[in-house]
Amino acid sequence: MAENRFGIHITPEDIIEALSFFDSWEDRYKYIIDLGKELPPLDPTCRTDDNLVRGCQSQVWLIHRDEGDKLFFEVDSDAFIVRGLLGVVLAAYNGKTREQIRDFDINAYFDQLNLIKHLSPTRGSGLQAMVRRIQALAST
């Protein structure tokens, strides 16, 4: 698994702070797309139906591993903006314990980013599907 800095070196607070510098949503989208470029590529052999997140408009793959009491995630998508949104989600969840994942108020985080209302309904649903998948993994 390649090193994924999201959630380890890039925190939700970092994302909130960075997005607050931009006045327009066009600039915020560009930033989110750039975040996606920082995600390490997912091994093509991991792009399987089992790893596909259902409910996303774009194709999204998620794999995870346990290291001690922490969960680490690798993700990928065929859409640039979605890769960036995955980075936003991983900033909250990657490298965290199951308890930290369950306790993190992802909706308050999205509210602070003012994110959901600036996404199409299908993108918002896909983002929520990704969150549900990670939360389900944290509940096992």
Classify residue 129: in a domain, yes or no. yes
Assessment of whether the complete model's pTM goes beyond 0.85:
yes
Query: Could you tell me if residue 2 is inside a domain?
Result: no
Whole-angstrom Cα distance, residue 52 to residue 11? 25
Is 46 annotated as catalytic?
A: no
pLDDT tens for the 140 residues of the chain, in order: 556 778 788 999 999 999 999 999 999 999 999 999 999 989 999 999 999 998 877 899 999 999 999 999 999 999 999 999 999 999 999 999 999 999 999 999 999 999 888 888 888 888 999 999 999 999 98
* 72 belongs to a structural domain: yes
Number of domains in the chain: 1
Query: In angstroms, how far is CA 139 from the centroid of its own chain?
Result: 18
* pLDDT (0 to 100) of residue 31: 95
pLDDT of 108 reads: 95
HEC sequence for the chain: CCCCCECCCECHHHHHHHHHCCCCHHHHHHHHHHHHHCCCCCCHHHCCHHHECCCCCCCEEEEEEEECCEEEEEEEECCHHHHHHHHHHHHHHCCEEHHHHHHCCHHHHHHHHCCHHHCCHHHHHHHHHHHHHHHHHHCC
For residue 3, the model assigns a pLDDT of 66
Report the pLDDT value the prediction gives residue 55, as an integer from 0 to 100.
83
53 in any annotated domain: yes
Q: Is residue 115 part of a domain?
A: yes
The residue segments making up the domain with residue 53 are 12-41+49-138
CATH number of the domain residue 32 falls in: 3.90.1010.10
Which residue in the list 56, 71, 82, 130 is annotated as catalytic?
56
> What gap in Å lies between CA 120 and CA 51, rounded to an integer?
24
